[in-house]
A and B are shown apart, each in its own frame.
Chain A
Amino acid sequence: MKSEQRKRTLTWVANIGMAIVCLIALFPVIMLLISSLRPSSELMRTGISLAFDWSILNVDNYNYIFTQAGSYWTWYTNSLIISAVTIVLSLFFSSMVGYALAVYDFKGKNLFFTFVVFILMVPFEILMLPLFQMMIKVQLVDSYLGVILPMVVAPIAVFFFRQYALGLPVQLMDAARIDGATEYGIFFKIMLPLMGPSLGAMAILQGLGSWNNFLWPLIVLRSNDMFTLPIGLATLLTPYGNNYDVLIAGSVMTIVPIIILFIFFQRYFVAGLTTGGVKG
């Protein structure tokens, strides 16, 4: 009897506790949404405030963004292009490698794999100054390609694809060979489609990484017209606050598409963002 009651209390405590924690986690996002509906002049004066006047909420900031904030949409387009190209290139390169490591035996395979592990430990921050020098030399500063190239090498995705490809049905390959398929045909027509879920997860990982990437674009992009969203928004983050309409409503519109994608592809998001765990 007594333990029954204790269990019930515990259930209540656990559920209410988790609900509060989740509310705290969601609180900043909710505040952002509400603030995007407040007049920017007022927001600038008070900051994000707990007390506000519901009656003055309106969509003026969004109106402004859609009608007048030209550079915001330039940044949005830049971010979309850079993310899309990064996803395609890095997935193409790394899926081939992961697949080859998983299904073929070849000389130097172990050495190569060890090398990838080692490179995984080299922080981007040591590469960025020489990379910047390189980009100056080949005149890729302030270009899409300059931002994209260093992100094409994705050792973590190689790991993930290798792990996934280890589970592919190898018998299919032999059957296809008997049918006369080339090794490349087998990969692109049979195996790659079977790797679909892993491609989805890595597309999310690389896409989100590129969409939110900051330090490298900050170094390599110079002109307002080439900025990606995070860099552009950061330039609005001045103490004078004369751009808060674009800043707040614009921030909402960088997250909302991601949240919608997340709701539809939750499984891929979870697999993609926890990838580090599949090591080894």
Chain B
Amino acid sequence: MATNQTVDTNKGPSPFMKFLNSKKVVPYVFVSPFILSFLILTVYPAIRGIIMSFQSVLPGQVEFIGLQNYERVFNPTFYKALSNTTIYVVLTVILLTILPIIFAVILDSKLVKLKTLFRASLFMPTLASTIVAGMIFRLMFGETDTAAANQLLNWLGMEAVDWRFHAWSGMFLMVMLCVWRWLGVNILYFLAALQNVPDELYEAADIDGASIFQKFWYVTLPFLKPVTIFVVTISIINGFRMFEESFVFWEAGSPGNIGLTVVGYIYQQGIQQNDMGFGAAIGVILMLIIFVISFIQLILTGAFKRGDE
């Protein structure tokens, strides 16, 4: 392998090439393109974002205004966005943890045949973009009596619903869309974790005469704790960052802001109203929320105990 390289060294490489190829320099060459892009496209904008949140940013006229943006942020519309987002987070976290655990345990058991087919079908919705998936949902949950969801309700003898025009049904649509798209991925996380449960433990439990439920509670669940913490954390973070699930149902604005989310509020203020300083202040608050959640996860998973590798 790579013997063609020998030719170069026989000729005697220039001192510069030698320097470039020394083990001290090589790793830095490897990391430098990333570091460069990372400084320009992540670190700099992050710092700019924080600075901007203390500024009034108008075209050609930027001035520091102290905490004024933050004082303005805490208004009824922001609270509405924050409460919508929080409700959404709570519901998606519960559904996207409990349902995948149940399905993963069933798929992992010896009871089910056609495991691959089931797994693939549950994974399929992940491949659709939120926009396409949301469009399907929007047409299935249309206002007319002829749309799928209302047809079903009529069959069951219930009244049709204007799905996109009530607070509860709007939330239901956003949560269902998210759960539909992410269920399959979370099942895979739990399935992977279930492979770590030693069979002997189940056998031992059998000998002790444990019921199926007891085995699940005392043997399976403890092994799922780390992956559950992980899944809950990413679900919370993705929930707080939600935007598309709302946009696809209502575009720019929902009736009575029933679909407004924190990121939607950033978009509305920062981009549509061009009030970048104000938008940045909302962004900083969002970042703080996400930092707190991430740190709680790191503490729970014991990341700080492990120290340097």
Cβ-defined partner of B118 (8 Å) among A22, A101, A184 = A22
A10/B111 contact (C-beta < 8 A), A126-B286, A129-B270, A237-B135 known? yes
Q: Do A180 and B5 touch (CB < 8 A)?
A: yes
From residue B241, how far is it (CB to closest CB) to chain A in Å?
Answer: 6
Interface of A, helix, strand, loop or mixed by DSSP:
helix
Q: Which residue of A lies closest to B177 (CB)?
A: A28
Q: Do A112 and B31 touch (CB < 8 A)?
A: yes
Query: What CA separation (Å) do A217 and B238 show in the bound complex?
Result: 19
Q: Which of B172-214 contact A (CB under 8 A)?
A: 180, 183-185, 188-189, 192
Q: Do B146 and A277 touch (CB < 8 A)?
A: no
Cβ-defined partner of A127 (8 Å) among B9, B45, B140 = B45
Q: Please report A residues at the B interface, Cβ cutoff 8 Å.
A: 10-11, 14-15, 17-19, 21-22, 25-26, 28-29, 31-32, 35, 43, 45-51, 92-94, 96-97, 99-101, 104, 106, 109-110, 112, 119, 121-134, 149-150, 152-153, 158, 172, 175-176, 179-187, 189-190, 208, 211-212, 214-215, 219, 229-230, 233-234, 237, 247-248, 251, 254-255, 258-259, 262, 266, 269-270, 273-274, 276-277, 279-280
Q: Which of B28-43 contact A (CB under 8 A)?
A: 28-31, 33-35, 37-38, 41-43
Q: Do B2 and A176 touch (CB < 8 A)?
A: yes
Q: Which of B231-289 contact A (CB under 8 A)?
A: 234, 237, 240-241, 243-244, 247-248, 251, 263, 266-267, 270-271, 276, 279-280, 283-284, 286-287
**Does B112 make an interface contact (CB < 8 A)?**
yes
Cβ-defined partner of B5 (8 Å) among A129, A179, A269 = A179
> Given A14-B112, A100-B30, A189-B2, 5 more contacts at CB 8 Å?
A29-B124, A47-B144, A101-B31, A126-B280, A179-B5
Q: Please report B residues at the A interface, Cβ cutoff 8 Å.
A: 1-3, 5-6, 8-10, 17, 21, 23-24, 26-31, 33-35, 37-38, 41-46, 48-50, 52, 103, 106-107, 109, 111-114, 117-118, 120-133, 135-140, 142-144, 146-148, 151-152, 180, 183-185, 188-189, 192, 227, 230, 234, 237, 240-241, 243-244, 247-248, 251, 263, 266-267, 270-271, 276, 279-280, 283-284, 286-287, 290-291, 294, 303, 306, 308-309
